[in-house]
Chain A
Amino acid sequence: MKAAVIVFPGSNCDRDCKVAIERSTGAHVDMVWHGDTALPDGVDLIVLPGGFSYGDYLRCGAMAALSPVMGEVRAAAERGVATVGICNGFQILCEAGMLPGALLRNEKLKYVCKQVDLEVTNAQTRFTAGYAGRRQVTLTVGNGEGNFFADEPTLERLEGEGQIVFRYLDNPNGSSRGVAGIVNAKGNVLGVMPHPDRAFEPELGSADGAILFQSALASA
């Protein structure tokens, strides 16, 4: 099993993602610089990590979405490769048009950093299959712009098609319909605001994040 973590200038959870994937799945993880124009051969999982790519200039994720490597990420996702954007990675996927909607400034204008309980809204995606039978998981959020927004027709579609994967039980940032994570229509691109990479061992307060990486790679 092979995973790739994309490193943008200003990413700060890239190492966390590597360690989290290695320890929870045993997969080999390559770090891929944003300026590269190729991904490792036979990659099964691509992760866009959290952080402040390009210093959040212009809009969170806007510059990173235009990075050279994103052409390859988009092509791989179109081929069906499992792709996960965590936090800033979620913002990048929205800015790249690979996921619908956008992430706005948090409703209370505060950076929120805490453990959150999530409802597993759809446990039938390739990223959440390992949560089957569980309604609730615990991860950690750390965001200032995690307030998911999409227009009503888009929200209706996401809801109707089962593309809302995680929902906050106690909405920390004002997200529309409590959205914490969504998948694309094809189901192989996941954007999630809370960090599975900060909750992959009991010592971190929760090991629920490990299941997400395990599911993503088991489905490859």
Chain B
Amino acid sequence: MKAIVHVFLKPGVLDVQGKAVEQALHGLGWGGVSGVRVGRTIEFDLAGADAAAAEAEVKAMCDKLLANTVIESYRVEVA
């Protein structure tokens, strides 16, 4: 199975990188852009065929290592 994990800073946490990218986009003329957040995507293959079990496992990986839940939230896709 393929697992994709998206990690972003939580809404209340200032994303200075996102803010800088937003300002750069404004500078290029895209004035309608707002709320830019820069996150990361982590992909990997996972042995097993049970999607629900895989999702639970990937969430455990997120809580333990892939995300710092003090500042980040995550979204898991398993297919």
Instruction: Using CB atoms and an 8 Å cutoff, list the residues of chain A in contact with chain B.
Output: 58-59, 62, 66, 94-95, 100-102, 104-109, 149-151, 174
Residue of B nearest to A65 (CB): B65
Knowing A58-B65, A62-B65, A109-B20 are in contact, say whether A104-B70 is a contact too (CB < 8 A): no
Q: Are A104 and B14 in contact (CB under 8 A)?
A: yes
How many chain-B residues does the 8 Å CB contact rule pick out? 12
Knowing A105-B17, A109-B16, A109-B20 are in contact, say whether A62-B68 is a contact too (CB < 8 A): yes
Residue of A nearest to B20 (CB): A109
B47 within 8 A of A: no
Among A59, A62, A100, A149, which residue has its beta carbon within 8 angstroms of that of B13?
A149
Among B9, B16, B66, which residue has its beta carbon within 8 angstroms of that of A107?
B16
A109 CA to B70 CA, complexed, in Å? 20
List which B37-66 residues lie within 8 A (CB) of chain A.
65-66
Between A and B, 20 residue pairs with Cβ closer than 8 Å are: A58-B65, A62-B65, A94-B70, A95-B68, A100-B70, A101-B70, A102-B68, A104-B9, A104-B13, A104-B14, A104-B16, A104-B71, A105-B16, A105-B17, A107-B14, A109-B20, A149-B13, A150-B70, A151-B70, A174-B14
